[in-house]
Structure 1
Amino acid sequence: MYYKKKRRHHFVWQYYLNHWSEDGKTIYCLQENKIFKTNTENLANVRDFYKLKKLNQKQIYFLEYMITQMPTFIRPIHKNLLYLFTEIFNIQKKILESNNDAKLLNTIDIMINNLEEEIQRSAERIGLKYLKKLHAKQLDFIENKKDLIEFYYFLSQQYFRTEKLSIAYSTSESTMNSDMSNCWPVLRNIISTNLSWTLHLYKMYIYVVENCSDIDLITSDQPAINLKANYIDPPIRLEIYYPLSPKLALFVCDENKEYNKIDNETALLLNKKMQEISYRQIYSCNRKTIEDLIQ
């Protein structure tokens, strides 16, 4: 993790996007009303997106207080995360004040750049086996508590790790008024962990549904979306939609629903919702699906 600084930080998993690729490398993308074909490596990434942000004392106190309001069993996880995200800057300061060792400072600089990116890669490694099971329509993992929590953690990270959610938090009125924008990298990891436990504790319904329509499902730079949310007010209901491929989709709902198959009407509605909630880009396995969507 700490030998080479990673600059191209992806907030949508490339392995996931490859399921929209016919050749295993390239997919179609719509950005700024232009459709183009490109390698998945070029999509859904921002330079130094996961680079740690130095927190001031007010921001640290805010996060520490938030953690005290959470269930006792989960607090140590969040305290350790906050320690990781803050202590690295304390070490950097001590080095600068003492011997100013260039090699050590370079190592710290790499760690600041790579740490959260590695956390997201770890979530991807956790999610790989579940994504493979979902593609095979195998849901046996939901009967195992550990597996289910891991799956929900992976899914939660795919929801909260994106540029759209980062911008939404940092530009919200409450965040701007309270100077808490730098807290989001810590918060998104805290929220993902909390949500994984919450979903496990409540009775959720998980469906893998085939797209039997003539319309391929698209995905976007916000690949997991809540169909019950308006993305303005805090959601009170949950229906997570996470397309798995042009012909397969995952739904996680707070109520028992009849999901037999995705027909043409449903596929079009899902694609329009995905386009609506996307931030900069939508992705497809073919040009025509995007052209039909935007005409």
Structure 2
Amino acid sequence: MEKKKKHHFVSQFYLLLWAKTEEKLYTNIGSEIHPKTTKEIAAENYFYRIKSLNKNEFDLLTRENSLLPNIPTRNLLKTIIDAGLFFRLEEALPLSPGEIINLEARQANLVEEFYCVVEDCVSSAHKKLLNAEYSNIDIEEYNYIVRFMFNQLTRTQKAKNNIKREIAEILEGRGIDFNAYHIISSLILSERMTLAAIEKLSTLTILENETDLKFITNDCPVLNLKTPQDKNIQLYWPISPNKALLLEDSILHPQEQKNLKEQVLKDNLKSNYFIKSVKKISRNEVSDFNRKIWDNKNRNAFSVSEIELSHYQ
């Protein structure tokens, strides 16, 4: 198994939509704007490396994962948690050089491969969104759109830094290293938020941009437009230079949500009931969303041409 050194925290298939030629898009570097390939951006060396878990870390992650319903994702997460403990135990065993290389490769790649599975699953729905085949998106594809958005929300360097400021000291008091805990806990958190949004049948609004100003994106491309104090969500995700999504909590009563989900399932798994609306937005609205993306980047914003980023430099 190849040992990957550079781990991307923004999906490559997604960033390529902003690349015109030679897989290059434009990004800010200091006070200047430069073309970069998608392989050079939104990545860090061994960002998803699973550190060896001590007993406290293993027990906490196992307990958090056990609170998820018995679904395939929970079993995948259990495998990742078990791997963290397995790697620690293996350190005490005599291994050949080949076994060590294989073990390190598995350790470095495991979480990124988890995200790749979700990316593969969302690809069909993503293509339908790009091609305006909205009514052909079925309930399973809707589920993967929601899961991908929450995965992307929690997997970035900025998300890691924000959570670290809040809980690292608390964890340290419990004998838990934040860096060992966070990579796996962020996957569990993402799954919890995904399941809550699906349970509420959260709605999608599709924003179509037909103006001359294109959407930009950044190294944290899914943005919660609500404040941490809000109980509800409004996730914004520019899915291409010409389209974006808003994911919002349903305003329906719980019984109405239940009835609607039953109707969706009966309708041959094909429905636009969870698509709230399709809106063509103005140039000023595009500019407002781009400003939010620029202001909420960790380090870099990305665009299909220089002009979109030049407004903010």
**What interval of TM-score do these two structures reach, taking the shorter chain for normalisation?**
0.7 to 0.9
Amino acid at match of 1:89: R
The 5 Å alignment of 1:4-23 reads 4-23=2-21
Contact 2:234 2:246 in 1 (8 A): yes
Relative to structure 1, is the Cα distance of residues 254 and 286 closer, same or farther in structure 2, using a 3 angstrom cutoff?
Answer: same
Shift of 1:183: 1.0
Distance 2:157 2:167 in 1: 19
Deviations 1:80-102, CA, capped at 9 Å, x for gaps: 44223322332x22xx43x3322
Of residues 158, 161, 172, the one that matches 1:167 is 161
1:124 is matched with which residue?
Answer: 119
Amino acid at match of 2:102: T
1:178 is matched with which residue?
Answer: 171
Distance 2:166 2:249 in 1: 30
Of residues 222, 231, 236, the one that matches 1:241 is 236
Alignment of 1:86 with 2:79, yes or no, is: no
Aligned-partner SS, 1:261: strand
1:147 is matched with which residue?
Answer: 141
Of residues 211, 214, 219, the one that matches 2:212 is 214
TM-score, normalised with respect to structure 2: 0.83
Relative to structure 1, is the Cα distance of residues 268 and 119 closer, same or farther in structure 2, using a 3 angstrom cutoff?
Answer: same
Of residues 53, 69, 73, the one that matches 2:70 is 73
Aligned pair count reads 282
Shift of 1:127: 1.7
Amino acid at match of 2:82: Y
Distance 1:141 1:176 in 2: 47
Contact 2:22 2:37 in 1 (8 A): no
Distance 2:168 2:159 in 1: 13
Deviations 1:146-192, CA, capped at 9 Å, x for gaps: 3332232222212111111122222x143234224121111111122
Contact 2:9 2:43 in 1 (8 A): yes
Deviations 1:188-230, CA, capped at 9 Å, x for gaps: 111222222221110311122211333211000001111113x
Distance 2:112 2:186 in 1: 13
Distance 1:274 1:72 in 2: 34
Distance 1:241 1:72 in 2: 27
Amino acid at match of 1:224: V
Amino acid at match of 2:163: Y
1:276 is matched with which residue?
Answer: 295
Amino acid at match of 1:183: Y
Contact 2:7 2:112 in 1 (8 A): yes
Of residues 266, 269, 288, the one that matches 2:307 is 288
Contact 1:18 1:24 in 2 (8 A): no
Contact 2:202 2:249 in 1 (8 A): yes
Distance 2:236 2:22 in 1: 23
Distance 1:203 1:125 in 2: 22
Contact 2:53 2:88 in 1 (8 A): no
Aligned-partner SS, 1:73: coil
Contact 2:80 2:111 in 1 (8 A): no
Distance 2:85 2:133 in 1: 40
CA RMSD after TM alignment:
2.1
Distance 1:120 1:59 in 2: 22
Contact 2:216 2:238 in 1 (8 A): yes
Contact 2:68 2:192 in 1 (8 A): no
Distance 1:242 1:36 in 2: 23
Relative to structure 1, is the Cα distance of residues 64 and 284 closer, same or farther in structure 2, using a 3 angstrom cutoff?
Answer: same
Contact 2:207 2:278 in 1 (8 A): yes
- For structure 2, the residue ranges without an aligned partner over 5 or more in a row are 252-275
Amino acid at match of 1:10: H
**After alignment, is 110-119 or 16-25 more displaced?**
16-25
1:52 is matched with which residue?
Answer: 50
Runs of 4+ in structure 1 over 6 Å off: none
Contact 2:205 2:279 in 1 (8 A): no
Aligned-partner SS, 2:288: helix
1:64 is matched with which residue?
Answer: 62
Shift of 1:23: 1.8
Distance 1:289 1:206 in 2: 26
Deviations 1:31-67, CA, capped at 9 Å, x for gaps: 3332111111111010111111122222222223333
Counting aligned pairs with the same residue, the percent is 23
Aligned-partner SS, 2:207: strand
Aligned-partner SS, 1:283: strand
